[in-house]
Amino acid sequence: MELHANDKIIINQLQGGFPICEDPWSELEKKLNIPADEIIQRIEHLKNEGILSRFGPMYHAEKMGGGLTLAAMEVSHESFDEIAEIVNEFPEVAHNYARDHRLSMWFVIATETPEQVEDVIQKIENKTGIRVYNMPKLQEFFLGLKFEV
């Protein structure tokens, strides 16, 4: 889909800072110089087209008491699909990517409490017989999706 100039403004300007107030759209209308109804319609359209995956607050899982980690496994080519199926069956596995490395499977584990992360890792190791490398973030250095279109 071809992006309209106003779509680009919305994508570039609204990755953060959506006002938290009773009438956020009027505030944005002034800031972006685009009519409120048009902004709403464009966001709706961009969402429907899949260009925006979300609109709203982004929550920080660990701050709410949840557990979160990045895990990696060395999975052979032959057993890859089978292992992916076992790993993906866990509801705590949120994202899972194949990557071109000896450590070929990388997934995010999200749990309700931090203690449960270790538990899920144990279960995955038991079910697959493969070591799981647990790589939680120790420090975060800025997290801003700054895609410019």
Partner 1 sequence: MLAKQQQLEEVQIDEIDRKIIAATQQGLPLTRHPYNDVAASVGVDVAEIISRMKNMTELGVIRRTGVVPNHYKLGFKANGMSVWNVPEEKIEELGKKVGSIDFVSHCYERPRFLPEWPYNLFAMVHGKSREEVQQKVNVIAELLAQDDFGHQVLFSTKILKKTGLRIK
| Between 26 and 122, CB nearer to partner 1 | 26
Closest distance to partner 1 from the beta carbon of 129 (Å): 18
Compute the least distance from the CB of residue 4 to partner 1, in Å.
14
Shortest Å, Cβ 95 to partner 1: 5
Nearer to partner 1 among residue 81 and residue 126 (C-beta):
81
Return all residues near 6 (Cβ < 8 A) that are at least 6 apart. 32, 34, 38, 39, 42
Q: Cβ closer to partner 1: 57 or 129? A: 57
Cβ 47 to partner 1, closest distance in Å?
A: 8
In this structure, what is the dihedral angle of CA atoms 127, 129, 131, 136, given to the nearest 10 degrees? 0
Which of these, 86, 97, 91, 89, lies nearest to 125 by C-alpha position?
Answer: 86
In a 10 Å sphere around its CB, with 0-12 CB exposed, 13-18 middle and 19+ buried, how is residue 51 labelled?
A: middle
DSSP helix/strand/coil, 68 = strand
Q: 24 vs 122, which CB is nearer to partner 1?
A: 24
**Cα 2 from Cα 7, distance rounded (Å):** 9
